[in-house]
């Protein structure tokens, strides 16, 4: 089971939206795509934005924690 849950991650990502504004993330698919992209960056050698111990955590777990703590943001294709 993923901790935090998808719904918790969606709340964190959409927290910056103003009332009446379109949400940044509407589905679990967006969360999966963002965390998998970040995990690939970590595998390629990028430094994590959260504290980790050498060899103790997996890249996907680090990416989920980074998203949950607001260290990384999901941007729309238009902003990219």
> Mind listing the pLDDT tens digit for each residue in 48-80?
999 988 777 899 999 999 999 989 988 766 665
Distance between CA atoms of residues 62 and 48, nearest Å: 7
Number of Cβ atoms within 10 Å of the Cβ of 48: 16
Q: Which pair of structure tokens corresponds to residue 80? A: 């990219």
Report the alpha-carbon angle 74-1-50, nearest 5: 45
Residue with token string 């980790």 = 52
Q: Which pair of structure tokens corresponds to residue 70? A: 């607001």
Reported as a single tens digit per residue, the pLDDT across 33-53 is 999 999 999 999 999 999 988
- Coil/strand/helix, residue 72: coil
Instruction: Give pTM, 2 decimals.
Output: 0.81
């Amino acid at each position: 089971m993923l901790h935090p849950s998808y719904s918790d991650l969606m709340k964190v990502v959409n927290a910056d939206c103003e009332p009446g504004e379109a949400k940044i993330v509407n589905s679990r698919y967006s969360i999966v795509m963002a965390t998998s992209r970040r995990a690939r960056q970590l595998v390629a050698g990028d430094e994590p934005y959260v504290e980790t111990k050498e060899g103790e955590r997996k890249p996907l777990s680090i990416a989920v924690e980074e998203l949950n703590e607001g260290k990384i943001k999901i941007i729309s294709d238009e902003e990219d």
